[in-house]
Amino acid sequence: MANPFSLEGKVALVTGANTGIGQGIAVALANAGADIAAAGRSEPTETKALVEATGRRFLSIKADFGSTEPVQRVIDETVAAFGKIDILVNNAGIIRRADSIEFTEADWDAVMDTNLKVVFFLTQAFARQALKQGPVNGVAGKVINIASLLSFQGGIRVPSYTASKSGLAGLTKILANEWAAKGINVNAIAPGYFDTNNTEALRNDADRNASILARIPAGRWGQPGDLGGAAVFLASPAADYVQGITLPVDGGWLAR
């Protein structure tokens, strides 16, 4: 039997892959056999080196996902370089922190546009391309959305982030409902508290850092590589019958 976790011959587009979670996922997919297109605002120099060290091809695409401007372009550039696209990882996202009583419209719109609106339209463009390519062994494409623990919980001082990530879990379900029969899998991963740029303020706050660690059964912050297995699973034939889930990778946070 062929390895059900192999991504040999697949092409994956990962947004926001220059550091952190996106980088960890891109490298894991490459290790499983996929060629990688990385789209984001910053040049993913380190990610490029790590992916190419696996023997896989790498494409960097400059894109600011604060608007829908780059949506079709990143799909087209990926296909032009590799001939097709099989996997989309919607990782690019931003966060704004302030008490809800003081939260601004500008911060609300920036987060909702990046984390939810643009994700929908990029996924739509990916699905159109996947359906145009047609299914292979019944599968036309795989979508992995990067959700959050705040897809399940409320959090504090991040109202637009919580709304966007709760919405992303719902979007994952509706797209799975509509596209499963067409051969497109849509699922999500909900990272717990990970050591990334987005959580730097929390880790630098001694009290918050201590309270967060006390709640995590694993006793540590997650590292980007901790998400690799979940991403490879959802992108691989092993998950062909998995649809519409949001999989927590959280060191046991939600079980506490």
Tens-binned pLDDT, residue by residue, of the chain (256 aa): 589 999 999 999 999 999 999 999 999 999 999 999 999 999 999 999 999 999 999 999 999 999 999 999 999 999 999 999 999 999 999 999 999 999 999 999 999 999 999 999 999 999 999 999 999 999 999 999 999 999 999 999 999 999 999 999 999 999 999 999 999 999 999 999 999 887 888 899 999 999 999 999 999 999 989 999 999 999 999 999 999 999 999 999 999 9
Answer yes or no: is 4 within a domain. no
What integer pLDDT is reported at residue 201 of this predicted model?
A: 83
Answer yes or no: is 1 within a domain. no
What integer pLDDT is reported at residue 117 of this predicted model?
A: 98
**Containing structural domain, residue 96:** 11-255
Answer yes or no: is 3 within a domain. no
Write the CATH number for 98. 3.40.50.720
The count of structural domains within the chain is 1
- The tokens of 205 are what? 């706050």
What integer pLDDT is reported at residue 2 of this predicted model?
A: 84
Determine whether 193 is an active site residue.
Answer: no
Count Cβ atoms below 10 Å from residue 171 Cβ, excluding itself.
21
The contacts found for 66-73 with CB under 8 angstroms, 24 or more apart, are: 66/94, 66/110, 66/113, 66/114, 66/118, 67/113, 67/118, 68/117, 68/118, 68/121, 70/39, 71/118, 71/121, 71/122, 71/125, 72/125
What integer pLDDT is reported at residue 1 of this predicted model?
A: 54
Answer yes or no: is 179 within a domain. yes
What integer pLDDT is reported at residue 197 of this predicted model?
A: 80
Q: Which of 82, 120, 126, 161 is catalytic?
A: 161
Answer yes or no: is 133 within a domain. yes
Answer yes or no: is 82 within a domain. yes
Answer yes or no: is 190 within a domain. yes
Answer yes or no: is 67 within a domain. yes
What integer pLDDT is reported at residue 200 of this predicted model?
A: 86
Give 13's strand partners.
37, 88
